[in-house]
Amino acid sequence: MILGNDPILLTPGPLTTSLATKQAMLRDWGSWDAAFNRITGTVCRDLVEIVHGGDEYVCVPLQGSGTFAVEAAIGNLVPRAGKVLVPNNGAYCARIVRICRYLGRAVVDLPIAEDRPVTAAAVAAALAADPAITHVALVHCETGAGLLNDLDGVARVCRAQGKGLIVDAMSSFAALPIDVRQAPLEALVAASGKCLEGVPGMGFVIARREALLASEGNAHSLAMDLHDQYVYMQRTTQWRFTPPTHVVAALRAAIDQFLAEGGQPARGARYAANCAALLEGMRALGFRPLLTPEVQAPIIVTFHAPAHPAYAFRDFYDRVRARGYILYPGKLTQVETFRVGCIGAIDANEMRNVVAAIGATLRDMGIERAA
């Protein structure tokens, strides 16, 4: 049983945070206070630097979850007469299709198998088939399965054909290399509670400054008007409406730890080691991962559920939770699965403990082997 400590979150956000990040939320901040506004400014500066955005890109923070920021990016950077291509190989791609329809933006839903990556060739073919498409919305790491899509290849296609590229990097930002000098995009969207290891509550859009300034009047919502938010912040250093002050302070602490760890290369290496330890241990228990190694991102791993009459996910989940770990249900539509996250303030030794907890749970359930 869990004694004295919160369970470890093995989910793609919220995730387990460090003590220093939690402690950063113990102070109250005034939303108009100059000290708090300086924190916002340094956070935005550092977020742009993570993708090597230089002076060409700016960061616009937004209250709410990552989905709020994705919707804001689509609603601002895609003109009302624009048309969006969404290569769709998972639940979060499908969510972008829904967002486009809610916003009244024409959308092309390009279906791709949920265990296969989006390729540059598929996007190029779709663009050739429909010249009216103005933008491509790509999910970099589709955490419905844990699959990594080809951001660099898709970016090259979009640049060659003059299409705007909006990237949902929710589960890849700060963990996987993204360099807008090599893969130019119109906007990248992420959030505080993912691989930066902050807490949930703030999304952000890193946008090409020129594209953002040209988006005035596109927004469907006052609260989600990125252009207005950016212009107001440039003029006053303040958020337009009450900011999530504790979330921003925690994010500042989390970014400081990210930089001290060694930035994206070190964060990515730790997550890769977590993923490798998890896969090795789970295979020894008989579990089979959904994805092949070449498309598996080191963020979250989808496993086939045990083909055993004693297995039921809810019971399995509760028993693993009692041993200190919170898993994630499967997101796929065709096969029964569950997911185990590799991100957060945890290391490979913790992942080996996860495997031990899952193994003990299987024995309790009378399942000799997961296969």
The mean per-residue pLDDT over the stretch 241-266 comes to: 98
The pLDDT value given to residue 180: 97
Answer whether 33's CB lies under 8 Å from 65's CB: no
The pLDDT value given to residue 4: 45
Q: Does the pLDDT value for residue 357 go beyond 60? A: yes
The pLDDT value given to residue 331: 74
Q: What is the pLDDT of residues 202-227, one digit of tens each?
A: 999 999 999 999 999 999 999 999 99
pLDDT band at 335 (very low <50, low <70, confident <90, very high): confident
> May I ask the CATH architecture of the domain 19-260?
3-Layer(aba) Sandwich (3.40)
The pLDDT value given to residue 12: 86
Mean pLDDT over each residue of the chain, to the nearest integer: 96
pLDDT band at 87 (very low <50, low <70, confident <90, very high): very high
> What strand order describes the sheet that includes 202-208?
57-63, 202-208, 187-191, 164-168, 135-139, 83-88, 106-111
Q: What is the pLDDT of residues 276-305, one digit of tens each?
A: 999 999 999 999 999 999 999 999 999 999
Q: What is the pLDDT of residues 232-245, one digit of tens each?
A: 999 999 999 999 99
Domain spans of the chain? 8-14+262-365, 19-260
pLDDT band at 165 (very low <50, low <70, confident <90, very high): very high
- Residue 16, token pair as written in the block: 């387990």
CATH number for the domain running over 8-14+262-365: 3.90.1150.10
- DSSP for 27-64? S---TT-HHHHHHHHHHHHHHHHHTT-TTTEEEEEEES
Residue 25 phi, psi (nearest 5)? -90, 5
